[in-house]
Homo-oligomer: A and B are copies of this chain.
Amino acid sequence: MVRLGKLTDYGLVLMTCIARSQGAPLRTARDLARESKLPISTVSKLLKELLQSGLLISHRGTKGGYVLAREPKDISVLEMIAAIEGPMALTECSTDITGLCNLESYCPIKSNQQIINRAVRSVLEKVTLSDLMHPLHLTTIEDARGKVLPVIASGRVQ
């Protein structure tokens, strides 16, 4: 169903939690687990992955924890997804790594998949953590070919 894994979903929740408490001291894994109602082992694992992708900065020891590495507006949804799921590709054909697709060179729609993939990536690149924090600021979004999609002011999609 072209869907994000649950863990990725949780990752977005955690990033939003951390972003919301900017200015506050470091957020610990336990702390975030309590706030997000997720098991601490899972939270811990996700924070590690977000750290390794450079989206978070950590401090060890007592009074340790995590902060955002950049401002929310400079962290894209695409980056967060990639941090947890690995480099995103809609199909293996679109990963630029040759030899993965068993239809190889005579695959008739390889180039099309790259087009689709690029469009999807681009959408996710443009939506940032800041947008996730402040849904009201994102009132419209233009889809491929410039058609405007109305997005309801409450943050809900009609």
| Interface segment out of the listed A40-48, A52-60, A82-90 | A82-90
B77 and A116 contacting across the interface, CB-CB below 8 Å: yes
Query: Copy number of this protein in the oligomer?
Result: 2
Within 8 A of B (CB), among A63-88: 77, 81, 85-88
User: Is the CB of A25 closer than 8 A to any CB of chain B?
Assistant: no
When A16-B108, A109-B132 are in contact, do A86 and B144 touch as well, CB less than 8 Å? no
**How many chain A residues touch the partner (CB < 8 A)?**
62
* A157 x B2 contact (CB < 8 A): no
- Residues facing B in A94-131 (CB within 8 A) are 103, 107-109, 111-120, 122-127, 131
Name A109's contact: one of B3, B16, B120, B156 (CB within 8 Å).
Answer: B16
